[in-house]
Structure formats: C-alpha cells, structure tokens
Amino acid sequence: MSIAKLAILGGGQMGAGIAQVAASNGIDVTLIKATPGSSDPVKATIEKSLTRLVEKEKMSQAGAMEVMGRIAFTDDLGAVATADLFIESIIEDIEVKKAKFAEVDRIMKPQGILASNTSTLAITEMQDATERSERFIGLHFFNPPTAMKLVEVVPTRTTDPSVTSVAIGFCERLGKTPVLVADSTGFIVNRLLTPYMVDAMRCLEAGLSDIHGIDTAMQLGANHPMGPLALADYIGLDIVHAMATNLYESFGLEHMKPTRTLDHLVAEGILGRKSKLGFYDYSESPPVPNPALHG
C-alpha cells in the first residue's frame, strides 16, 4: 500500500507544514480545519511559504501553483472518507484527540491508516478510542515540517508491521528521516529536550546567569543553534508547559516538572514568539531579553 491521499486535521503551523511537504511530493492532501471559521488564513500561510521558496529560486511559480492545486481546504471531517492516511495535528489534549479519532474511525475506509502528530501523549491511549488499533501509529513531525528532517515513527504493540512499513515509506517519500521509537511519553526528542529547557529555567530562577548568559553558554559551549530559553519561546511556552506536565505525570521526576516561572508566564498568556513576549521581547528587532525576568 502506498499513500496517494492524505487527510490532515488541524490547520496550525504543524498541520499546514505537513500539508505543504506532502503536496510538494506529489500527494493529494485534504487539510481539515479543526476550529470554526474560514480556511483562508491557513491557505494564506502555505501560499506565503511557497512564495518565499519561489523568491529564493528553490521552486518555480508553476511548481508553487501545482503544490497549491494538490491541497483542498475544508472544515468537514467527512472528507477523511477516502483518505489512505489521516494525520491528527490538533491541541495536545488527550480527550479531544480521542473524540476526534473515534469520529474519524467511523468515517474512514477500513484500510485507511490513522496517525497522531502528538509530541508527548501516548499513542496507545488514542488508538483505544478506535476499532482499528492494528492500523494506528504515531508520526511525530518537527517544527517547521518544511525544514526539519526527523519524523519519530511510533508503532504500538498492536500496530500491524505492514502499517509501520507504509508509514516509514511515506516519511521517506517526503524526504524525511524516520526513526522508530517505542510508545513512551515524550518519545526520544521531547523526553530529552523538555527537561533541558525547564532546567535552563531553573538556572535562571537560581540566578546562575541571566537569559542572555544561559542561552549564549549553550550556543557557544554546546554548539546549539539557539539557547534553551530562546528555543522554548520558539516552540511556545504553553506547549513546553504541556510537554513538561505530561512527562512529570508519567515519570514523576522532579527535573521534568514545569517551573514556577513557566507556570506564571503561561497563566499570564506570555507564550513566546507567538505572543510577541516570552523570555525575550519580540516587539524589538532583534529580540531582547524580557526585562521582567531576572531570575
């Protein structure tokens, strides 16, 4: 089985990015908006991304139009009926995800494969909401999907090996590098990365250094492309908080627990780049450390 038709639920940065990558590699995509309202902003996001590629001469205008022609936009979940693969990319709320998977399971053709793009939640718990656990798998893409090469492929104990093979082939067709991972909270990357970011916040709280010092130390001392606090802002502090909470609840290890600073920022709606303020103030160019956070 090969994937010719893909349906994606969720028109955020991840869903739109996966749609663009799939369409750029010859796959017909239906992008289903998970929240009320027009799909025009989602469409505009993809068009803007493709325009940048055209301007950089990495794609022709005709090629960009061809990619857009492979993507259909809708808010009708019934569009999953004929898809070979369905990827869920919505809010990191297990109950919301389970409800959507149960609904999709009733609509999708029997041979269709269900997948979640969750960053930390248990694939097994989601598959239990369906009647096709053997055709259920995790496909964790990374942000932004148009650039990041890794996909964590997460079969469960009941996933049919043929489904895992199809999933791996799908990722490779998209030019990604799939890595097989056991179904465990956080998988590989976020199990290691999230405690690193929250420990950086603990360093700030302890007065070990300021925001700039912590990030500069890890950039120059560990050759990281950005520091842990800037990275948390990039991911979204609400997402980092959710990942840390899921890890702490799963493993009970203190170094995985959200910090008081992270709790406070998320409660105040200070979420990083997307809110223009986090550990850095993005109203400035270039961004400057948030003066309210001194540790």
Q: How many domains does the chain have?
A: 2
Cα gap 82→110, rounded to integer Å: 10
**Any idea what the CATH number is for the domain that residue 100 is in?**
3.40.50.720
Residues marked active site are found at 119, 140, 152, 190
pLDDT in tens, 215-250: 999 999 999 999 999 999 999 999 999 999 999 999
pLDDT in tens, 157-183: 999 999 999 999 999 999 999 999 999
Chain length of the chain: 295
Determine phi and psi for 280, rounding to 5 degrees. Answer: -125, 155
Cα gap 237→33, rounded to integer Å: 23
Amino acid at 55: E
Of 149, 180, 211, the one marking the end of a domain is: 180
Give me the domain span that covers residue 93: 5-180
Of 143, 160, 180, the one marking the end of a domain is: 180
Looking at the domain assignment, is residue 281 inside a domain?
yes
In which band, very low, low, confident or very high, does the pLDDT at 295 lie, cut at 50, 70 and 90?
low
Are both 175 and 57 inside the same structural domain?
yes
Tell me the DSSP string of 157-210. Answer: TTS-HHHHHHHHHHHHHTT-EEEE--S-TTTTHHHHHHHHHHHHHHHHHTTSS-
Are both 91 and 33 inside the same structural domain?
yes
**Any idea what the CATH number is for the domain that residue 268 is in?**
1.10.1040.10
**Token couple for 264:** 């406070």
Are both 199 and 277 inside the same structural domain?
yes
> Which one-letter DSSP state was computed for residue 218?
H
Looking at the domain assignment, is residue 294 inside a domain?
no
Of 156, 180, 204, the one marking the end of a domain is: 180
User: Would you say the pTM of this structure is higher than 0.85?
Assistant: yes
Looking at the domain assignment, is residue 295 inside a domain?
no
